[in-house]
């Protein structure tokens, strides 16, 4: 009996591991396909093929295509939210924005398809847009605007333009990933390569320094 119990325990553990593996494959495949085709444009069979499983297997993990989409969205959003909360709760330093944008870029580098999901959802005016706005964009804007007001914004960027300035940071970070295929087709290099992402990160840094000259220190200028 105990052996049997052991056996079944071992078997159960193996099965659980296998299930976890399958689930991750499904989520990864979903993220990739949803990012390219959108919710209504993706076919579950395409996801299944990309995940290497049968179409029916998806339904052992998620009750519907929509639920799968929500899971992908949630998985991509959560770390960003956490990061932002950490920054918001932490002490304000002169270059908080630079640091935050750096971390965000780093996260997006690991999930390069997630940006597209957000853009797709925005453009489709989809049902998850309010959630994304509430959980992520609104706090982000609050953080940035808080920084900006407490800092000194250079003359030409008057007060009413500050939201556009905040949005700028989304454009150059998320937008870089969203537009990547177009840029790749235009320039002769892949914006999603390590090199390309690093360069965009440096660009954002330089942009910030040029926009807020008071942030410059000796270390930035070499």
Minimum separation from the CB atom of position 9 to a copy of itself (A): 18
Give the sign of the dihedral formed by CA 116, CA 112, CA 136, CA 160: negative
Q: Are 95 and 215 in contact (CB under 8 A)?
A: yes
When CB distances are held under 5 to 8 angstroms depending on the partner's kind, the choice from DNA, a copy of itself, none that residue 6 binds is none
Shortest separation between residue 158's beta carbon and a copy of itself, angstroms:
7
Instruction: Report the length, in residues, of the chain.
Output: 222
What single-letter DSSP state applies at residue 92?
-
Total residues at the site for a copy of itself (CB under 8 A)? 61
Tell which positions 140-169 bind a copy of itself, by CB under 8 A: 141, 154-158, 160-161, 163-165, 167-168
Of residues 6, 15, 152, 217, which one binds DNA by CB under 7 A?
15
Q: In this structure, what token pair is assigned to residue 153?
A: 């914004």
List 41, 52, 63, 90, residue binding a copy of itself (CB under 8 A): 41
Token pair for 209: 């320094």
> 3-class DSSP state for residue 156?
coil
189: left (phi over 0), alpha (psi -120 to 50) or beta: beta
Token couple for 1: 């009996």
User: For 46, which DSSP code?
Assistant: H
* Residue 9 binds to DNA (criterion: CB under 7 A): no
Q: Is 199 in the site for a copy of itself (CB under 8 A)?
A: yes
* 132 binding a copy of itself? (CB under 8 A): yes
| Binding flag, residue 43, DNA (CB under 7 A) | yes
Q: Which residues bind a copy of itself (CB under 8 A)?
A: 35-41, 116, 118-125, 129-130, 132-133, 137-138, 141, 154-158, 160-161, 163-165, 167-168, 170-172, 175-176, 178-183, 185-187, 199-200, 202-203, 205-207, 209-211, 220-221
């Amino acid at each position: 009996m105990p052996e049997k119990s052991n056996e079944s325990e071992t078997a159960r553990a193996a099965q659980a591991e296998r299930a976890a593996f399958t689930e991750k494959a499904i989520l990864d495949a979903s993220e990739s396909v949803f990012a390219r085709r959108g919710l209504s444009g993706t076919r579950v069979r395409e996801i299944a093929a990309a995940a290497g499983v049968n179409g029916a297997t998806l339904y052992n993990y998620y009750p519907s295509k929509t639920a799968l989409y929500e899971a992908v969205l949630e998985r991509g959003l959560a770390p960003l939210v956490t990061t932002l909360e950490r920054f918001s709760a932490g002490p304000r330093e002169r270059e908080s924005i630079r640091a935050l944008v750096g971390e965000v870029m780093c996260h997006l580098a690991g999930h390069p398809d997630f940006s597209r999901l957000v853009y797709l959802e925005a453009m489709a005016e989809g049902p998850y847009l309010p959630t994304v706005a509430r959980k992520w964009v609104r706090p982000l804007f609050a953080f940035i605007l808080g920084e900006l007001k407490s800092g000194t914004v250079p003359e030409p960027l008057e007060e009413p333009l500050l939201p556009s300035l905040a949005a700028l940071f989304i454009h150059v970070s998320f937008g870089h990933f969203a537009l990547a295929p177009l840029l790749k087709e235009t320039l002769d290099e892949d914006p999603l390569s390590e090199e390309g992402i690093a360069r965009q990160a440096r660009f954002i840094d330089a942009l910030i320094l040029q926009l807020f000259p008071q942030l410059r220190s000796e270390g930035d200028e070499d």
